[in-house]
């Protein structure tokens, strides 16, 4: 069974991100019961600013937090990254979490759920560049929320149409995830 992580994209104490990521996880599990989804909160890994002596591409990790993060991310076939937009880019915590690893991301698919002043569109485009750089095939469809329309005094209130957008994005992530799973299996043999 395909395994997909729904990954939070912020560690800020007052973050809205867990509300959006939990919604994404719940919707995903409901609309695609043929796939296993797991909620992964990057705050739980307490990753410091990249502190590995060698580049991630070397695959040599000295720090225990990197080894734990590596094992967790390697266990998935695809990802849904939930990103806020901070000053037109994803949060530094999400960018840092991705930069900690390299081979673990290769030949896997991802979708993006974003939110912000312009629905996180600018953060999504920056995140796409980073995902491409580490070998993640990101799908075209996204799910995006506006801070004003989809949040009521700090509480996430998505419209009913958001669930349809989420299913559409997941359909692409899953199709690509299965295809890339075959690619990875061929590379291993």
pLDDT digits (tens, 9 = 90+) for 134-176: 999 999 999 999 998 999 989 999 999 999 999 999 999 999 9
Q: What is the mean pLDDT of residues 38-51?
A: 97
Q: What's the residue count for the chain?
A: 189
Please name the residues in contact with 24: beta carbons below 8 A apart, sequence gap of 6 or more.
6, 80, 82, 113, 143, 166
pLDDT level of residue 188 (50, 70, 90 thresholds): confident
pLDDT of residue 62: 97
Of residues 132 and 189, more confidently modeled: 132
In three-state secondary structure terms, 111 is strand
Q: Residue 90 sits in which domain range?
A: 3-188
Q: What's the mean pLDDT when you consider all of the chain?
A: 96
pLDDT of residue 148: 86
- d(CA 85, CA 126) in angstroms, rounded, equals 10
Q: What is the mean pLDDT of residues 30-40?
A: 98
Q: What is the total count of domains within the chain?
A: 1
Q: What is the mean pLDDT of residues 14-37?
A: 97
Reply yes or no on whether the pLDDT at 111 is more than 90: yes
Q: What is the mean pLDDT of residues 96-114?
A: 98
Q: What is the mean pLDDT of residues 39-52?
A: 97
pLDDT level of residue 99 (50, 70, 90 thresholds): very high
Reply yes or no on whether the pLDDT at 54 is more than 90: yes
pLDDT of residue 189: 82
Please report, for residues 58, 79, 86, 128, the alpha-carbon distance to residue 54 in angstroms, rounded to integers and kept in the order given.
7, 25, 28, 24
- d(CA 24, CA 151) in angstroms, rounded, equals 15
Indicate the pTM of the whole model.
0.97
The CATH code of the domain that includes 32 is: 3.40.50.360
pLDDT of residue 145: 97
pLDDT of residue 8: 98
Please report, for residues 1, 81, 171, the alpha-carbon distance to residue 70 in angstroms, rounded to integers and kept in the order given.
20, 16, 26
């Amino acid at each position: 069974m395909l395994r997909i992580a729904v990954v939070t994209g912020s560690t800020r104490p007052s973050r809205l991100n867990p509300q959006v990521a939990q919604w994404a996880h719940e919707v995903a599990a409901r609309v695609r019961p043929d796939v296993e989804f797991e909620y992964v909160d990057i705050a739980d890994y307490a990753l410091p600013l990249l502190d590995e002596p060698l580049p991630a591409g070397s695959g040599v990790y000295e720090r225990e937090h990197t080894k734990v993060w590596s094992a967790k991310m390697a266990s998935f076939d695809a990802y849904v990254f939930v990103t806020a937009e901070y000053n037109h880019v994803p949060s530094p915590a999400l960018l840092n979490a991705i930069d900690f690893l390299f081979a673990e991301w290769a030949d896997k698919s991802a979708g993006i759920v974003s939110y912000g002043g312009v629905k996180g569109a600018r953060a999504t485009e920056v995140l796409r560049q980073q995902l491409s750089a580490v070998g993640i095939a990101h799908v075209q469809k996204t799910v995006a929320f506006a801070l004003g329309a989809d949040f009521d005094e700090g509480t996430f209130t998505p419209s009913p149409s958001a669930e349809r957008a989420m299913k559409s994005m997941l359909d692409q992530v899953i199709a690509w995830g299965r295809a890339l799973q075959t690619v990875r299996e061929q590379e291993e043999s």
